[in-house]
């Protein structure tokens, strides 16, 4: 399993079920590239997923929202790069 894969797969499931979660918003952000890599991501995504993700993170802990947001984006990019090497 690639680093971050469990989060991305959870996000795909959540997104395809219409659940707004940290994982589904992260997948929404990366959906164009994830689809291009062959992952089953619906084209229907949340509007402004970047803002929604940050807001969701800030609701649970405003002091760490920025660093957690950046860490999640790095995890997404790392996963996409790893998946691109395999396909």
**pLDDT block averages, 10 residues each, the chain of length 87:** 89 93 96 94 85 97 96 96 84
In the block, residue with structure tokens 């990366």: 30
pLDDT score for 3: 81
CA distance 61 to 10: 22
CA distance 63 to 30: 25
- What's the structural domain count of the chain? 1
- Terminal-to-terminal C-alpha distance of the chain: 14
Contact predicate 51/20, CB 8 Å: no
- pTM comes to 0.92
pLDDT score for 87: 57
pLDDT score for 31: 93
Residues found in the chain: 87
- Structural domain harbouring 73: 5-86
CA distance 77 to 79: 5
């Amino acid at each position: 399993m690639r680093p971050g894969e469990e989060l991305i797969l959870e996000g795909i499931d959540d997104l395809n079920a219409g659940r707004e979660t940290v994982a589904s918003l992260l997948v929404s952000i990366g959906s164009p590239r994830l689809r291009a890599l062959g992952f089953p991501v619906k084209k229907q995504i949340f509007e402004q997923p970047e803002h929604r993700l940050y807001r969701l993170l800030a609701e649970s802990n405003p002091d760490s929202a920025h660093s957690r947001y950046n860490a999640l984006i790095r995890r997404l990019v790392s996963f996409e790069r790893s998946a691109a090497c395999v396909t």
